[in-house]
Amino acid sequence: MTAGVPREPLRPQRVLLWLPVVAVVLYVTVPVVATVAFAVLPGGSFSLDAYRVLGDDPSLARAAGRTVGVTVLTVLLLLATLVPAVVAVHLWAPRLRALLEVLCTLPLVVPPIALAAGVVALLRLGAQQGRGSAASTVSQALQDPDLPLVLVGTYVVLCLPFTFRALDAGLRTIPLRALVEASATLGSSTTGTLWRVVVPNVRGPVLFSVFFATAVCLGEFAVAATLSQETLPVWLATVASTDFRASIAVAVLLNLSTWALVLVAMLSADHVSARGHRGAGRDGARPSSTDPTSTGPGSTGPGSTGPGSTGSDLSAPAGDSHLDDGGVLPGAAGRPSR
Amino acid sequence: MTGATTVALPEDVDGAAPPGPGRRRGRGSGRRAGPAAALRSPAVAALAPLLGVVGLFFVLPLVGMALVSTGLVGRGEPGLGAYAGLLQGSQASAVANSVLVSLVGSSIAAVVGALTAFCLARIASARLSSLAGVFSSVLATDGGPPLAFAFVVTLGNTGFLTEALGLGALGFTLYSWQGLVVMYQYFLVPTMVLVTLPTFVGLRREWAEASTSLGGTPLTYWRRVGLPVALPALLGGWVLLFGAAYATYASAAVLIGSGALPLVPLSIASQLRSGISSGGEASAMALGVLMVVVAVVVLVLFNRLQARSARWLR
Amino acid sequence: MTTTPGGKEVRLEGVGKTFGSTRVLDGFDLRIAPGELVTLLGPSGCGKTTALRVLAGFERASEGRVLVDGQDVGGVAAERRGVGMVFQAYSLFPNMSVQENVEYGLRVRRVDRAARRRRAADLLETCGLGHLGERFPHQLSGGQQQRVALARALAVQPSVLLLDEPLSALDAVVRASIREEIRRLQRQLGITTLFVTHDQHEALAVSDRVAVCAQGRVEQVDVPAVVYRSPATAFVARFVGTVSEVGVEPGVQVGPEAGPGAGPEVGPEVGPEVGGGAGPGVSPGVGSGGGAFRPRRPGAGLDTLFVRPEDVRLSPAPDGPCTVVGQSFTGERTAVRVVAPDGLTLVASVPAAEAGGLGVGTRVVPRLGATPALRTDAEGRVVTRARAAALA
């Protein structure tokens, strides 16, 4: 049994292995530190003056309000449409699962700026139908600057690939159908069953979806800017030309909260995937099981990069889909916040 | 079962044979047509809202984009003129710049990221690998104005590193294609780590030891086994990075703005802004279609390479 | 023992290995004669894989010597030791066909293309894989993969073959057939072989000699029958084969030669661990043949007898001290489990024909049909062992 045999002690050449790691860590940290320093250390001494913009600038308050409104609606619409669809497909129509998967994965292929272009095309087509026409009215309503519903719909689409995979993976790790049938034979009504059996089992993926969607809404720039909707990121870009330090100050806050949200999202999905995979039994013959697959969302199986892809593993448990079997979502290609 | 009866007796379908009990059941039960039956299930009611959202905010815009780009809808001339226009002038230079930035950016990130992942795998600490996975995931999603600002503060014309290292004297400026390449590394390198770390971790110790026991040196092992096994994942990661760099808009838009260095995504935005009158709309849509095509190619290539890698590393 | 010029003698002398604060090998001694197949048998963590890896050169011994044909190979790099190695599983190079895998070692040695093709084809034929040369590892079953791994290790004509649990990832039927295959090839080539396993059946079936390993040292090395019939230590008795442990007063002889009645064992005296179940009517051994004994659990102040199932005889008797609690049919013999009043469980192996009279609930008198495999005293020291000479 090689399992449990400790590794060789540290040799000098092992120190060399840390060089690239340290270099990348430095490269990643320096700009963050520089930004924070720029925001709170103007002229070398600590000051939170830059943050006065938070209270002083009404345009910031409006942008924040708009962003929050869009975020709340996006999260609600995402959950209200996606959760029932995935649960229903798993329970009653497994044959439609493939269709749903394709549908939810496709937005990944379309860069946000291209999607934004399409939305603009559509809105303009609507507006061209003439004042007072139904299409024109809808187009107007969707672009209402107080609550730009067009962003809500588009953001739901941008979130779908990752959130679908999280939910789908969460449901695939449990015998949902058997659980629901068991619950029914024990005398539970359908709604009672759904509440008691399904909800606890999708809690992790739902949490992931909430945090991830929030992160997307707080960070998305391409669509909002193209549609001239001043959300927080767009406000940042606008204000940068007049008050750079203020925009940096707000950017620091925004960026840190986006990171925290993504982190929390991945940890909540990780929790679920860990539960789902417990006992999946990795190969005991690999003592040095440096196993990034156990970090969960971002790293499931060779090369799946989407934070939502919680379902697979190198030692894939039964029931992994084709996508997990190597066809994996290149999450970064369609990353919404860029 | 009743479906089989119907298929086996074609005259039944023609209605030539007298309606038998089997046939009636075949029509009535609805069990034979799988998708049709599925459509009547409660699943459809649950799916409908999602289909609505996807149709309205994804399918329709893309269809609209394709139609406008070909001038079939909107104010442009019908035809492929907008696509022909991509070969000339600022459009062509936007495509060329995008390819240049993406190619150089993804190549550097692929090498650095793969090297980092390799070292992480060799350090062989489960905790470090987990940590690297999580942080790479977070950083791979980074972008937008905050990223651009961070680089302006650090490497801009008066950025603190620029001044500390005297980069300005060396002729470096962040507001160039080289600058974009440097900035893109911020999310490209973590993406590469994310994609290739499982591969390097998946290289089995047994392979190296088998090679050694057969008389091979470490160099033999890497030349004949290690590198060939990792190659699909490395290429896949590289392709993916190219796609990611090509599609990046927000941080480039904030850093470069429009004009100074045309890129495909920037051109889309500026032509949309320049409006309906100038006929830029069709050409913006054509660029959008081009982006989608590039993204599809990237996805297909990446999936193929990953599938091969996954098969080997199972 | 087959001694062929091809095989070399292997010795591990006082080998110790420490990882950090863990002592994995501690005074590990083992000699493998030229052409011999020795299995290293032990539970996981006993150091057997480490011993094999020290021999292969993947680990360096902290102390002690590793000798191949009398030469100390401690300083020789793994790639120059000329050992063939077969791993547990998944060791085939995934990017190479079966043919290329087998050729690998020859290619490294710069054997010319035609020669190595011929050699690989020959070996694949010998291993029953002639038709699979073009396949890739992921297209093969686990058993086929291990055959290829064996062919690959043999291709370079190693002086020593090391097998690290090569069958543990396979299912039972395949395991048996590959086991025979390995044995056949090993005999045919006369190659000195060390086979590491935790499966005692595998070890007993395949080896010239078995080395039972515990806590970093070898407890016993001998031919399989001796290891089974005459274990050197309590650990070996427990680890190899099934054994029942019976407590007995020091000095009291039990066994077929001890005569009827087993005198002092019968009496009113009750050991501290005997529960109330031992009623006054129970008088084991009374009126029966030789080998009867008082069935009780080992305890303080008692010797322990290690009894093999085939040495236990059961005779039904209405006042017998033990009760049959279970049977498992294994073909020609049936394992019968009986329980004594104090909770002692005995396993007896009886011919299937006799099992009919030993249904669950039957009261029985147990007897010993042979000297116990091992007897230890209260401190665990060996008192007597079954005579090995008669078995060897």
When pLDDT is averaged across residues B89-101 and rounded to a whole number, the result is: 90
A141 confidence band (pLDDT: 50, 70, 90): confident
Asked whether A218 and A67 are in contact (CB, 8 A), the reply is yes
Distance from the Cα of residue B76 to its chain's centroid: 30
Q: Encode pLDDT of A94-120 as tens digits.
A: 888 888 888 898 888 889 999 999 998
Asked whether A264 and B137 are in contact (CB, 8 A), the reply is no
Q: Determine how many CB atoms are found less than 10 A away from the CB of residue B205.
A: 16
Asked whether A249 and A262 are in contact (CB, 8 A), the reply is no
When pLDDT is averaged across residues B157-182 and rounded to a whole number, the result is: 87
pLDDT of C270 higher than 50: no
Q: Residue A329, class by beta-carbon neighbours within 10 Å (0-12 exposed, 13-18 middle, 19+ buried)?
A: buried
Which of C85, C95, C138 has its CB closest to that of B210?
Answer: C85
Are B250 and A221 an interchain contact pair (Cβ–Cβ within 8 Å)?
yes
C83 and B CB contact within 8 Å = yes
pLDDT at C294: 84
pLDDT at B4: 36
Are B161 and A290 an interchain contact pair (Cβ–Cβ within 8 Å)?
no
Q: Determine how many CB atoms are found less than 10 A away from the CB of residue B24.
A: 11
Q: Which residue has the higher pLDDT, A293 or C51?
A: C51
CA–CA dist B28, B25 (Å, integer): 5
Which residue(s) pair with C315 in the sheet?
C365
pLDDT of B37 higher than 80: no
Which chains does C contact via 3+ CB–CB distances below 8 A?
Answer: A, B
Which of C20, C53, C87 has its CB closest to that of A6?
Answer: C20
Exposure of B139 in the CB half-sphere (CA atoms within 13 A): 26
Q: Locate tokens 């009126």: which residue?
A: C287
DSSP structural state of residue B174: S
Closest CA to B140 of B161, B121, B159, B117: B117
Which of A3, A6, A9 has its CB closest to that of C44?
Answer: A3
pLDDT at A276: 38
Provide the edge-to-edge strand list for the sheet that holds C63-68.
Answer: C22-32, C10-19, C63-68, C71-72
Q: Which residues contact A229 (CB under 8 A, 6 or more apart)?
A: A66, A143, A145, A148, A150, A151
Q: Å from B212 to nearest chain C CA?
A: 5
Provide the edge-to-edge strand list for the sheet that holds C303-307.
Answer: C244-248, C303-307, C374-376, C382-385
Are B213 and C153 an interchain contact pair (Cβ–Cβ within 8 Å)?
yes
CA–CA dist B139, A142 (Å, integer): 32
Q: Which residue has the higher pLDDT, C308 or A8?
A: C308
When pLDDT is averaged across residues B183-206 and rounded to a whole number, the result is: 93
Pull the structure tokens for residue A279: 């006992």
pLDDT of C271 higher than 80: no
- Give the percent of chain C with pLDDT over 70: 88
What burial letters (b/e) apply to A22-37, b meaning 16+ CB within 10 Å? eebeeebeebbebbbb
The average confidence (pLDDT) of chain A is: 75
Lowest mean pLDDT among A51-55, B151-155, C32-36: A51-55
Are B228 and C108 an interchain contact pair (Cβ–Cβ within 8 Å)?
no
- Give the percent of chain A with pLDDT over 90: 27
pLDDT at C4: 44
When pLDDT is averaged across residues A119-132 and rounded to a whole number, the result is: 83
When pLDDT is averaged across residues A191-201 and rounded to a whole number, the result is: 79
B116 and A CB contact within 8 Å = yes
pLDDT at A321: 30
pLDDT at A190: 74
Are C22 and A2 an interchain contact pair (Cβ–Cβ within 8 Å)?
no
* Euclidean distance between the first and the last CA atom of chain C, given in angstroms as a whole number: 13
When pLDDT is averaged across residues C145-161 and rounded to a whole number, the result is: 92
pLDDT at A293: 32
- For A3, A8, A291, B230, C198, the CA distances from A288, given in Å and listed in that order, are 8, 11, 9, 18, 21
Containing C8, the helix (H) or strand (E) segment is none
pLDDT at A7: 44
Rg of chain A, C-alpha, whole Å: 23
pLDDT at A183: 81
> Any alpha helices (H) in chain C, and if so which ranges?
48-56, 98-108, 113-126, 142-155, 172-189, 200-206, 224-229, 234-239
pLDDT of C263 higher than 70: no
Backbone angles phi, psi at B218, to 5 degrees: -55, -35
CA–CA dist C72, C15 (Å, integer): 12
pLDDT of C9 higher than 60: yes
The average confidence (pLDDT) of chain C is: 85
pLDDT at B79: 76
- This complex has an ipTM of 0.79
- Give the percent of chain C with pLDDT over 90: 49
pLDDT at A318: 29
Using a CB-CB cut-off of 8 Å, the residues of chain C touching A7 are 19
The DSSP result for C256-289, as a single string, is GGG-GGGGGGSSS---TT--TTS-TT--TTTT--
Q: Locate tokens 């009517």: which residue?
A: C281
When pLDDT is averaged across residues C294-321 and rounded to a whole number, the result is: 89
Q: Locate tokens 């720029």: which residue?
A: A38
Are B285 and A119 an interchain contact pair (Cβ–Cβ within 8 Å)?
no
A12 confidence band (pLDDT: 50, 70, 90): low
Backbone angles phi, psi at C233, to 5 degrees: -140, 165
Exposure of B131 in the CB half-sphere (CA atoms within 13 A): 9
Lowest mean pLDDT among A76-85, B256-265, C78-87, C273-282: C273-282
pLDDT at B272: 84
Q: Encode pLDDT of C204-229 as tens digits.
A: 999 999 999 999 999 999 999 999 99
When pLDDT is averaged across residues C277-295 and rounded to a whole number, the result is: 52
Q: Which residue has the higher pLDDT, A160 or A318?
A: A160
pLDDT of A305 higher than 60: no
CA–CA dist B40, B30 (Å, integer): 10
DSSP structural state of residue A175: T
Q: Encode pLDDT of C106-132 as tens digits.
A: 999 999 999 999 999 999 998 888 888
What amino acid is encoded at C141 in this protein? S
Using a CB-CB cut-off of 8 Å, the residues of chain A touching C48 are 1
| pTM given for the model | 0.78
Full 3-state SS string of A18-82: HHHHHHHHHHHHHHHHHHHHHHHCHHHCCCCHHHHHHHHCHHHHHHHHHHHHHHHHHHHHHHHHH
pLDDT at A125: 83
pLDDT at C357: 86
Closest CA to B227 of B129, B302, B312, B303: B312
- Give the percent of chain B with pLDDT over 90: 42
Are B216 and C109 an interchain contact pair (Cβ–Cβ within 8 Å)?
no
Q: Encode pLDDT of A20-37 as tens digits.
A: 999 999 999 999 999 999
Asked whether A163 and A85 are in contact (CB, 8 A), the reply is no
Which of B112, B187, B285 has its CB closest to that of A24?
Answer: B112
CA–CA dist C12, C21 (Å, integer): 22
Q: Which residue has the higher pLDDT, C353 or A337?
A: C353
B241 and A CB contact within 8 Å = yes
pLDDT at C207: 93
Are A38 and B240 an interchain contact pair (Cβ–Cβ within 8 Å)?
no
Pull the structure tokens for residue A267: 């940890």
